[in-house]
Amino acid sequence: MKKITIAKGDGIGPEIMDAVLDIFHAAQVPLEYETIEIGEKVYLNGHASGISSSSWDSILNNKILLKAPITTPQGGGYKSLNVTMRKALGLFANIRPTQSYFPFVASNFPKMNVVIVRENEEDLYAGIEHQQTDEVVQCLKLISRPGSEKIIRYAFEYAKKYGRKKVTCFSKDNIMKQTDGLFHQIFKEIAAEYPEIQSNHMIIDIGAARLAAKPESFDVIVTSNLYGDIVSDIAAEVAGSVGLAGSVNIGTSCAMFEAIHGSAPDIAGQDKANPSGLLQAAIAMLFHLGLADEASKIQNAWLKTIEDGIHTPDIYNEATSKQLVGTKGFAQAIIANLGQNPTQLQPITPPKDAVISIPITTPKKPKVKSLVGVDIFVHQANRNADTLALQLQQATHEAGIQLKMITNRGVKVWPNGLEETFCTDHWRCRFEWTSQSNGNYQEVVSLLQTLYSNQIDVIKTENLYAFDGVPMYSMGQGQ
């Protein structure tokens, strides 16, 4: 019998996991369970990552994790275990279907049925943050070509497998031309390989607003990590409740299945939590494992229970609900409905094979990369750009590299900055090669030595490169 790893988590986690396991037991799902402890207790016992090495071993052996939500203690430098797991296990795709169950669950959008395909490994969730000056902290946004190709291709393959008609890309490439620009560019390249599926792109702000106001106009949405996190909660809430949505985290060898909501400490231990989100994730897991009969039987019993108006408090509504139940009562009602199909909601049509495989991306031919200058970031409390420029020019007047521009939080403040621009203590000083320079890294090193000996507080450098002769770095705003 296939063995999977389960984690009961924190808050409402144990209650909703027990409800799911009771339903699995009643449906005679042929699985064995290995339970691991993760989350708050493990963090507080001294594991800064929230998981012990034996728990990692269990997941790596079994390859499948059904996980209830966990609580990440606030402060204290604890890293989110959810993010660590998704990244460490290479779970690159996070699939979050959200659907309206109108009229049985109140929703303004009876026909809504949207799948969010969220990139899961990179973007701002790389978690690379630094305090650089007294006033400024930074977080690096990393978007890669292979990471974007994998998730976007997955979205189109998902659409193909499940008969979906349209894939919409959300990005903010009008502002982040390099990072979100790359994601959008790759979306256009891959969309061209799937002419049978409609594709379009929306700027994330209007996209999120439309998703909240007209969710029925979306089918599959693919987007990067942070935007996906936000819009999938919007979609779930608009569909009826965050308590109804499950999420599937897929990698090439491992997979993790969880509810999209958190550990809901406000209702923990009160038999009020809706176990549907974790159950939806668990049903997707059964499809993934090829247990389509069991998955369909449970899903249809769940739909029938929703249709019968047997509801937990989060979705209970006097107009459409018939019986208010707790977590346990809801699980018992599903068990009583095993073998029955819904009569009004659409029963599930099992996919022939739920596993989506995408080709391994082949790296593109490397471009010719040339160093054309350097951005040197400087910490200076004096808020005067002209003074800093003079100091830098005096220090570097003999170097084969020349100060071109200074920005503060991205806005050009030298030369010819505006008095109105507010400056912090964090300055980006752009140097470019002069005609006498050799254009090599040694010149950057000499420049740094010169600045250091002139007591300039350099906090970081960023090389400026052209790829195949095209400058690939952002201009200053106002440059």
Binding site for ligand NAD (CB under 6 A): 12, 69-72, 82, 242-243, 258, 261-267, 273-274, 277, 314
Spell out the residues 6+ positions from residue 29 whose beta carbon is closer than 8 angstroms to its own: 286, 291, 294, 298
Provide, rounded to whole angstroms, the least separation between the CB of residue 226 and ligand NAD: 14
- Residue (133 or 263) nearer to ligand NAD, CB: 263
Provide, rounded to whole angstroms, the least separation between the CB of residue 327 and ligand NAD: 8
User: C-alpha distances in angstroms, 300 versus 79, 86, 364?
Assistant: 38, 30, 46
- Residue (88 or 371) nearer to ligand NAD, CB: 88
User: Looking at this protein, which amino acid is placed at residue 238?
Assistant: V
- Residue (262 or 439) nearer to ligand NAD, CB: 262
User: In DSSP terms, which residues pair with 99 in a beta bridge?
Assistant: 113
Provide, rounded to whole angstroms, the least separation between the CB of residue 330 and ligand NAD: 10
Provide, rounded to whole angstroms, the least separation between the CB of residue 270 and ligand NAD: 10
Tell me if 388 sits within 8 A of 429, measured CB to CB: yes
Provide, rounded to whole angstroms, the least separation between the CB of residue 402 and ligand NAD: 49
Tokens standing for 117?
């395909």
Spell out the residues 6+ positions from residue 187 whose beta carbon is closer than 8 angstroms to its own: 148, 152, 169, 171, 199, 201, 222
Spell out the residues 6+ positions from residue 189 whose beta carbon is closer than 8 angstroms to its own: none
Tokens standing for 126?
């790389």
- CA pair distance 125, 435, nearest whole angstrom: 41
- Residue (309 or 313) nearer to ligand NAD, CB: 313
- Residue (208 or 260) nearer to ligand NAD, CB: 260
User: C-alpha distances in angstroms, 276 versus 20, 120, 301?
Assistant: 9, 23, 12
Spell out the residues 6+ positions from residue 446 whose beta carbon is closer than 8 angstroms to its own: 399
- Residue (167 or 259) nearer to ligand NAD, CB: 259
- Residue (261 or 379) nearer to ligand NAD, CB: 261
- CA pair distance 260, 270, nearest whole angstrom: 20
Provide, rounded to whole angstroms, the least separation between the CB of residue 67 and ligand NAD: 7
Nearest Cα neighbor of 376 from 347, 399, 352, 359 is: 399
- Residue (309 or 400) nearer to ligand NAD, CB: 309
Provide, rounded to whole angstroms, the least separation between the CB of residue 376 and ligand NAD: 38
Query: Helix 292-307 to helix 13-26 angle, to the nearest 10 degrees?
Result: 110
Q: Is 61 exposed, middle or buried (0-12, 13-18, 19+ CB in 10 A)?
A: exposed
Residue whose CB is nearest to ligand NAD in the complex, by number: 262
Element (H, E) at 106: none
Q: Give phi and psi for 305, each to the nearest 5.
A: -65, -40
SS (H, E, C) 331-351: HHHHHHCCCCCCCCCCCCCCC
Provide, rounded to whole angstroms, the least separation between the CB of residue 115 and ligand NAD: 18
- Residue (173 or 258) nearer to ligand NAD, CB: 258
- Residue (234 or 472) nearer to ligand NAD, CB: 234
Provide, rounded to whole angstroms, the least separation between the CB of residue 417 and ligand NAD: 41
- Residue (182 or 303) nearer to ligand NAD, CB: 303
- CA pair distance 171, 205, nearest whole angstrom: 9
Provide, rounded to whole angstroms, the least separation between the CB of residue 314 and ligand NAD: 4
- Residue (271 or 457) nearer to ligand NAD, CB: 271
Provide, rounded to whole angstroms, the least separation between the CB of residue 56 and ligand NAD: 17
Residues belonging to the chain: 479
Provide, rounded to whole angstroms, the least separation between the CB of residue 242 and ligand NAD: 5
- CA pair distance 296, 300, nearest whole angstrom: 6
User: Looking at this protein, which amino acid is placed at residue 33?
Assistant: Y
